[in-house]
Structure 1
Amino acid sequence: MHRITPYIQAQRLPVLAAAVLILLLAGCSAPPVPLKERKVYIGRQDGRYILFRDKRPFIVKGAAGYDHLEALHAAGGNTIRTWDTAGLGNLLDSAQAAGIAVIAGLSVPLSRSLEFYKDTAGVAALYKSYHALVNRYKHHPALLMWCLGNEVDFPYKPRFRPFYKTYNRLLQMIHEQDPDHPVTTALINFDRRCLYNIRWKVKGLDLISMNIFGELHNLERELKNFSWFWDGPFLISEWGINGPWETEATAWGAPIENTSNKKAEQYLQRYTDHMPVNNPRFLGACVFYWGQKQEVTHTWFSLFAENGAASAVVQAMQLIWTGQQPTHRAPSLKYMLVEGKGARDNILLQPGAMHAAEILFDEAISDSLRITWEIMPEDWYIRYRSDVNARKPVVLNSLLLSPQGNKTGFRTPAKEGPYRIFATVCDRYGNFATANTPFYVVAP
């Protein structure tokens, strides 16, 4: 031990006193918890980032959604990712019972919502609410990490200072109240602008998450080319097939949707060919959407049917996560035809006319299969493209006529506009398959 001379001690006393005063004024915050004492943390070994949970490496084999947790576990998944705190306590309990970890979403308004971020009372209420929530659930054994904001965007301009002030205050609070769990945020795709601003203006995010669909094939290249500026750990918080905004459409703008079987092939191929699983910064991925949701159609992203049946995509994920195929495969559809035409033929029909639709299978139709037909107006046409609807449009069941086997007759609606006919095929093992075809009713 080196001794300090009285002169040096005298010189250091004012400095030490000032340091003590600063600590007192700051509330004497406790020193940070060492990583290896935390319940969940991100470490680094042999040049690779690793997520540790209960001192063991944990690769996120996840899904984005809220339901079907036992099915997720049975398929080999281990994590569910949410967007908000609705029913978080029940979800955490159910996840723990099913052996599933939870990435809990803490929803905040988009950065462009400056009216909110300038409202001191509204911001204070949000802070108080999340302070209580974090403290309530931070010790729950199912909690894996917090996700502060989903696609909120991180802009350049000085006028967004109220957003950054609020965001950083929330982020600091989460870390102070719960040092046991990492905090992330979810970006749209690989966004260099957002990454620049996060590095410059946001303090304390442990990792970056990305919602990425059609651009997944570019991710590895983007990561490499931008590693000079950001080389931290990342998570894929949503991935899947191309969204309706990224796909081929009819002449009137209706997105053309593949059958559920074709989607399963695409999920498998996309993961195999483009998921950066060997990247030393990769912490895992969450497939979208583990449940049933309305987004342009009620089948586009839904891995489960309304009755809880599982699609071929669920089985593809089981193959990805476990390397094993299920005992009973989902019904295998090829495509749907309306009057012998497919969606890419831009089907125009007269109002009130009789027509026929059929679905074709890859194999002989089993007597145990149950086929449900539905006709409904196009959701995007009713609600506007930027106004996301969470509810399935009203089904026009009165237009369906005598379905038989893989075929049905139907009468076109009297009102001009875009519509879509759906077929859902369920088997006796809890599996389903879907196909649909858009058509346009043209008034004479």
Structure 2
Amino acid sequence: MWADFRAHDGRSPYIGEQTQAMFAPLVLPQAPSTPHRALCTKNAARTNAHPRTASTFPKRVGHRISCRVRQLALSGAHSAKRSQGRSAVCTRAAASDGSSGEVAKGALLDLSSYDDRVPAAGAFERVDDVVMGGVSSSKLVPAKQRECLVWSGQCRTDGGGFAGMRTKPLSKGLDLSQWQGLALCCALESDAEPERRTWKATLRTQNDRGEVVYQAPFVPPVASSPDNLPAPVYLPWESFRLVRGPVVVPDVPPLSAEECTAVFGLGLIMSRFGPQGPMQDFRSGAFRLAIHSLDVYNTSPAADATAPEQLDSLTTTSAGTANKGTRTLLTFLLAPILAIVFSEAARRRRQARTLLKKRYGWGAVKIRGFGQQLKRQRMSALMAAQEGSLQLSADALSAILALPLRLLFMLSRQVGKVIRRLKGQKPLPSMR
């Protein structure tokens, strides 16, 4: 019914933003054509700004070389790179602070062509606040005309307030111990207020999918134009702290290179939860972040690190073979029931009913009737009745089982605390 209401009432600011973001173009329009000499100058500036393409050409290029020749040379370089397989490429670039030092980088993602960007985007999965009852949503897609991935979505504070993505289960741990940290080249394209959100990079050193993970905060630069590459954001390992949800685990030292011998996951989170709790001026709604590169880096000229394996070559989709994580016997046995009671579709239907009740003062019966009316507009009466009956049954089952399941999990958490205390382990911080 959420989709029905969204299509019916486009005047709602809540629904209007969702619809507008849904149909927004994934790639910003290109700049208008310019004279030949200006275009060559622009392409030359882009080439010098990009470390992967800067090494393909001399520093001085004669004015007689046409832009077409440059494009062919770039295409040949990218084709040669792809022919080497999906092994990462190490590059060196000048330090971003303008000093004479250099930064060695190893690519974790290959974004040089659309055929490479598709599996790079497919290496990640969404981790939005639907896992805790929220209604936020996001997706990561490959850009068609630019060498980047686009992470976009809607972040809502109803029941949660965060959106995220992380790598799918890896077939083995990634050894990043020879590097000093992550280098993220990204730009915020949806607005000019990145400081009104909390942005974090995540790193997982355990072969699980639990809520305890390393996080490092950062502020993405605002995109000046689709063609200008922003300066990378450098996140040394020491900036990553162990957290449980948004709360830092006390008495745990920062991440070190020695702990990065087996990295089982990387990701990004955009949240309303800052170091001091929920942000008072948090900007909810649509967001859009362009990811131009994800690398590891070294600032020491003497460092000679091995190029890391790329993430899309290590991700696996085989269920039950990797990263089972903290899934207990209780959650395994109750998985079919949990999928019904706490499903994302059911939560969105509840959110739609709440919105209708708040805006129009409708009761439960009238809201159900309104939903059935919208269903009959897009399907036959028989199919509408069948779908409505299934939704009503699922909502009734959810209402009956929700309280017992919550009590059962509260008991399970208390038992876990007792077990940790008997083992002499420190209790985990509360996620609130």
TM-score interval, smaller chain: under 0.3
Q: Which has the higher strand share?
A: 1
Could you say which structure has the higher helix fraction? 2
Q: What is the TM-score normalised by the length of structure 1?
A: 0.25
Higher relative contact order (CA 8 A, sep 6+): 2
| Higher-Rg member (1/2) | 1
